[in-house]
Amino acid sequence: MKEPNVKDLKSASSEAGKAESAALHELVLKSLDDDQAQDIISIPLDGKSNIADHMVIAEGRSTRQVASIAQKLAERIKQAGGSPRVEGLANADWVLIDAGDVIIHLFRPEVRSFYNLERMWAVDEMEQPGEAVQA
């Protein structure tokens, strides 16, 4: 049986937990920007869901770019001490990275418009794609 990591036991509502969550969120946004992800949107999930603190949605121009962005982001999260779970990397049409307090969806443009997660999570219609929504 795996021993629990003290880091995993911090409450998201504690000051240390909030600071960790904010640092992870900033790391994700910076990594996506550095790797030229497009139309990055961050949705605060506070009060909407208890699965995470933020959901970040972005896209790449091709499956190759989506896969590259996802691999680099997962590696950066690991280097920061996280343990991301990655799904969908083989096809790279839609890659989901569960980093704990931040869930990241990376899409090809056509797939993103088909699933339209922003609408499902009721992102304000006034916000323009590419603007990061701050909590």
- The dihedral region occupied by 26, where left means phi > 0, alpha psi between -120 and 50, and beta the remainder, is alpha
Q: Using an 8 Å Cβ cutoff, are 106 and 93 in contact?
A: no
Over residues 37-66, mean pLDDT = 93
Which structure tokens are listed for 33? 């920007």
Homologous superfamily, domain 6-120: Beta Polymerase, domain 2 (3.30.460.10)
pLDDT tens-digit readout, 73-113 = 999 999 999 999 999 999 999 999 999 999 999 999 999 99
SS3 call for 12: coil
Residue whose entry in the numeric block shows the structure tokens 């996802």: 70
pLDDT bin (cut points 50, 70, 90) of residue 134 is very low
Q: Which amino acid is at 61?
A: R
